[in-house]
A = this chain, B = another copy of it.
Amino acid sequence: MRVLQVNLEERSYPIYIGRQLLSDAAIFQQSITGKQVLIVTNTTIAPLYLEKLRNLLSTIPEVAMLILPDGEQYKQLDMINKIYDELLRSKHHRTTTLIALGGGVIGDMVGFAAATYQRGVNYIQVPTTLLSQVDSSVGGKTGVNHPAGKNMIGAFYQPKAVMIDTDVLDTLPPREFSAGVAEIIKYGLISDAGFFAWLEENMSLLMQRDREALAHAIEISCRTKAGIVAMDEYEGGVRALLNFGHTFGHAIEAHEGYGQWLHGEAVASGMVIAATLSVHRGGLSDGELARICELLTRASLPIHPPATMQVADFLEKMQLDKKVMTGKIRYILLESIGAAVVVDNVGIAEIEQAIAGCR
C-alpha cells in the first residue's frame, strides 16, 4: 500500500493507494471518529461493492446506506436533498461520517452534502473510477451542476481520507477507464515531461490495466495534484493549471448534454484544442502536438471536438464557465510538454482558429 499526504494544515489528510483496501477495516476505522456512518453510492456500484464496504464497517454502531441513480445528469441539488433527507431520517448528528462510494459524481455530491449538513461533517472518498481516483477525490472541490453551468454550486471542503482501491478498476468499462487516463496524461502535460515520456513508453501496459503500471500512474497523478492543491487550496493561482483542457471540455459537456461525452473524453478533446492554441501562439512545437494526439489516441480518447458542435457553440457555452474572471476568460496553455501557463489575453479569432484546427 502506498500512502500520500495532502498537506493543508489542520485540514491535511492521507491518500491510501493499493489493492484490497475494501477489505482493510483498520484504515477505515482510523478515519471514522463517531458512531454513525452514511454510505452513499449509485445503482451501478451498489451491487458490486456496497455489501463489501458495509461488512467492513461492522464495528460501527449505526450504518445507513443510500443508493442514488448513476450519471452526470443526476449531479444536481435534488440529489443533495436526498442525502440530507436520509441523514435526518436516520437522525445523524454532527459527528457522523459520510462515505462516498463511487465515481466523481458521487464524490462531488457527497462532499457537498458533508460540507453543508449541519454546517459541515466528516467524509471519506472511496473513488471507484480511474478518473475520480486520479482527480476529483483529491483536493476538496465539491458540488453539483446547475442547468446554466457545470459545478456552479459547491464548496471547497476536504475529506478526512481518500481510499483508492485499485482492484475496483477490474469492473470499470473501457470507455470510463480511458476517460481516467485523460486526466493522467494531463498531469504529464502540465507539469512533468518525464511522466509524459513514461506514459508514452507504458501506455500499452496501462491500457491492459497492468497492476504496477496503474499504481505508479495513480500515485504520480495524486502526488502532483496534492502538491498543487497544497500550494493553492482555493484556486487563487497555480491550481488553475489543473483546469488544462477543461474550459473547452466543459463547453463540450454542456453542449452535448452532461453524460453524453464522458468528462475525460471532453477534457481529452479540450486538451487538443488548448495544445493547438499553444502551437499557434508559438509555445508548443508541432512535434509535441503530434505526440499529444498520438498518446491520447493510444488511450482510445477523442482528439476532435463533436461533429455537431460549431465554433459559435463553444463561445456561447464558455461564457458561463466558472473559470471566467471578471468577464475575461483565462486559458491554460502549454509552453512545452510539462510546462503550463495561465494566459488571459486570448482573442476570439485565436479561439476560432484553434477549434477549426482540431476538426
A94 to chain B: which residues have CB within 8 Å? 322, 324-325
Give bound CA distance, A148 to B116, whole Å. 15
Instruction: Annotate A315-359 by CB proximity to B: 1 below 8 A, 0 otherwise.
Output: 000011010111100000000000000000000000000000000
* Cβ B326 vs Cβ A152 within 8 A: no
- CB of A45 to closest CB in B, whole Å: 26
Instruction: Enumerate chain B residues within 8 angstroms of A112, measured Cβ to Cβ.
Output: 116
In the complex the two chains form, is B117's CB within 8 Å of A152's CB?
A: yes
Q: A91-B320, A95-B326 are in contact. Are A115 and B152 (CB under 8 A)?
A: no
B-side contacts of A235, CB under 8 Å: 119
Q: Could you tell me if A88 and B149 are in contact, using CB atoms closer than 8 angstroms?
A: yes
For A, the interface residue count at a CB cutoff of 8 angstroms equals 40
**Cβ of A35: which chain B residues have Cβ within 8 Å of it?**
326-327
Contacts of A84 in B (CB 8 A): 146, 152-153
Could you say how many copies of this chain the assembly holds? Answer: 2
**Least CB distance, A147 to chain B, in whole angstroms:** 8
Which A147-184 residues have a C-beta within 8 angstroms of B?
Answer: 148-149, 151-156
| Cβ B34 vs Cβ A118 within 8 A | no
User: B153 contacts A320, CB within 8 Å?
Assistant: no
Known: A88-B320, A149-B88. A325 touches B117 (CB 8 A): no
Nearest B-chain residue to A148, judged by Cβ: B88
**Docked pose: A324 CA to B92 CA in angstroms:** 10
A319 to chain B minimum Cβ distance, whole angstroms, is 7
Q: Which of A286-337 contact B (CB under 8 A)?
A: 319-320, 322, 324-327
Measured CA separation A235–B149 after assembly (Å): 34
- Residues on B with beta carbons closer than 8 Å to the beta carbon of A143: 116, 119
B-chain residues with CB within 8 Å of residue A117 when the two chains form the complex: 152-153
Query: Least Cβ distance of A26 to chain B in Å?
Result: 22
Cβ contacts under 8 Å, A202 to chain B:
none
Q: List 26 A-B contacts (CB under 8 A).
A: A34-B326, A35-B326, A84-B146, A84-B153, A85-B148, A88-B146, A88-B152, A89-B148, A91-B319, A91-B320, A93-B325, A95-B326, A112-B116, A115-B155, A116-B116, A116-B153, A116-B155, A118-B153, A118-B154, A118-B322, A119-B151, A119-B234, A119-B235, A120-B155, A120-B234, A155-B155
Which 4 A-B residue pairings sit nearest by Cβ, starting from the closest?
A: A88-B148, A119-B154, A118-B322, A95-B326
